[in-house]
């Protein structure tokens, strides 16, 4: 049992839900798997088992995976529920209303939503379980990329935030607090800023999709894998961040102005980039996802080794 949470329900078993299940089981939790599509639940069990094998965790330390056929069965005895339904606001509201009616006895079960865009108050307010709910937005795949955003709604209690923070830390996640509700939270807003400029640079003919990705893989990404953009700037001048901005504030001000582009995600632009990515080795998406996961494991192992020596 982690903190006071030993039994978890994963509700919704797409890519994010399956990955969360791996993270929970890897830490020794009993994990109930539920998806409205029974075939999805059954196939998810096999996928999760393979991912747990790849994690090289001692079998006697891995928790139990329990596929179930109903939402009620998933919530029975649960200490924590991770909701992973599609990004559909009425659907999320209806699902949380249903979970509120099935809330396990004792009123201690906590609820986290994996929503990537909706603030919690938009689908949690007025529910009898609202004080025990919050957004727990992962980075995909969460069992390999640990950054997790915790965004309480105005109804979320301080005790809920504290318990979920401790739970995430015990899982090996790296939780951050989103201090105020904001659509798409922090990670996705940063990702959207980079992606919008990436699309514009490709659309306007400045760079190919392959070379654009090389800029991140072999340039920015190398630094950003262990430093954020603020610390990167801090270390790019002998006098720190203030010195850096004294030298480059005018450049960034001009760049910020030019970055205010109108970027339309047109079918033609999507097709151009999709074709380029498939041609450069990504035609079999499932195979490339396995390649990604293997590289992320190696990177995390390397980082753990390096950090242990610092």
What pLDDT shows up at residue 56? 82
Number of domains observed in the structure of the chain:
2
Residue 286 lies in a domain: yes
What pLDDT shows up at residue 1? 54
Residue 205 lies in a domain: yes
The one-digit pLDDT tens for each residue of the chain (310 residues) are 577 899 999 999 999 999 999 999 999 999 999 999 999 999 999 999 999 998 888 888 899 999 999 999 999 999 999 999 999 999 999 999 999 999 997 899 999 999 999 999 999 999 999 999 999 999 999 999 999 999 999 999 999 999 999 999 999 999 999 999 999 999 999 999 999 999 999 999 999 999 999 999 999 998 998 889 989 989 888 888 888 888 988 888 888 888 877 778 788 888 888 888 888 887 888 888 888 888 889 988 888 888 888 7
- The verdict on 117 and 196 lying in the same domain is no
Range of the domain at 173: 7-177
Could you write out the DSSP letters of every residue in the chain?
Answer: -BTTB-EEEEE--SHHHHHHHHHHHHTT-EEEEE-SSHHHHHHHHHHHHHHHHHTT--GGGS--EEE-SSHHHHHTT-SEEEE---S-HHHHHHHHHHHHHTPPTTS--EEEE--SS--THHHHTT-TTGGGEEEEEEPSSTTTS-EEEEEE-TT--HHHHHHHHHHHHHHT-EEEE--S--TTTTHHHHHHHHHHHHHHHHHTTSS-HHHHHHHIIIIIHHHHTTS-HHHHHHHTSTTHHHHHHHHHHHHHHHHHHHH-------HHHHHHHHHHHIIIIISSHHHHHHHHHHHHHHHHHHHHHHHHT-
- The verdict on 198 and 173 lying in the same domain is no
Residue 149 lies in a domain: yes
Q: What is the CATH number of the domain that holds 22?
A: 3.40.50.720
Residues 6+ apart with CB under 8 A from 229: none
- The verdict on 299 and 276 lying in the same domain is yes
- The verdict on 244 and 272 lying in the same domain is yes
What pLDDT shows up at residue 257? 86
- The verdict on 26 and 173 lying in the same domain is yes
What pLDDT shows up at residue 284? 85
- The verdict on 169 and 66 lying in the same domain is yes
- The verdict on 162 and 205 lying in the same domain is no
Mark which of 159, 177, 195 sits at the end of a domain.
177
Q: What is the CATH number of the domain that holds 296?
A: 1.10.1040.10
- The verdict on 172 and 202 lying in the same domain is no
Residue 182 lies in a domain: no
- The verdict on 128 and 234 lying in the same domain is no
Residue 1 lies in a domain: no
- The verdict on 123 and 198 lying in the same domain is no
- The verdict on 144 and 291 lying in the same domain is no
- The verdict on 198 and 285 lying in the same domain is yes
Mark which of 177, 205, 225 sits at the end of a domain.
177
Residue 268 lies in a domain: yes
Joined together, the tokens standing for residue 25 give: 């089981």
Residue 104 lies in a domain: yes
Residue 2 lies in a domain: no
pTM for the structure as a whole: 0.89
Burial of 260 (0-12, 13-18, 19+ CB in 10 A): exposed
């Amino acid at each position: 049992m982690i903190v006071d949470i030993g039994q978890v329900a994963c509700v919704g078993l797409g890519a994010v839900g399956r990955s969360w299940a791996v993270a929970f089981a890897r830490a020794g939790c009993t994990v109930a798997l539920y998806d409205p599509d029974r075939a999805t639940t059954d196939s998810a069990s096999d996928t999760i088992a393979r991912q747990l094998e790849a994690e090289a965790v001692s079998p006697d330390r891995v928790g139990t995976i329990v596929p179930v056929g109903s939402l009620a069965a998933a919530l029975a005895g649960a200490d924590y529920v991770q909701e992973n339904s599609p990004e559909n606001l009425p659907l999320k509201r209806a699902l949380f209303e249903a979970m509120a009616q099935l809330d396990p006895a004792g009123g201690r079960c906590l609820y986290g939503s994996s929503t990537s865009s909706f603030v919690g108050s938009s689908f949690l307010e007025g529910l009898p379980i609202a004080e025990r709910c919050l957004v727990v937005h992962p980075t995909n795949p969460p069992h390999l990329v640990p950054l997790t955003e915790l965004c309480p709604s105005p109804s979320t209690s301080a005790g809920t935030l504290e318990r979920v923070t401790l739970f995430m830390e015990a899982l090996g996640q790296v939780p951050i607090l989103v201090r105020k509700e904001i659509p798409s939270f922090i990670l996705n807003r940063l990702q959207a800023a980079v992606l919008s400029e990436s699309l514009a640079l490709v659309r306007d003919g400045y760079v190919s999709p392959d070379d654009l990705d090389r800029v991140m893989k072999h340039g920015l990404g190398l630094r950003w894998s262990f430093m954020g953009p603020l610390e990167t700037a801090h270390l790019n001048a002998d006098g720190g961040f203030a010195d850096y901005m004294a030298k480059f504030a005018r450049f960034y001000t001009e760049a910020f102005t030019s970055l205010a582009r109108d970027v339309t995600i047109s079918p033609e632009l999507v097709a151009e980039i999709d074709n380029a990515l498939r041609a450069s080795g990504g035609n079999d998406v499932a195979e490339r996802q396995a390649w990604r996961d293997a590289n992320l494991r190696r990177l995390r192992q390397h980082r753990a080794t390096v950090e242990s020596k610092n």
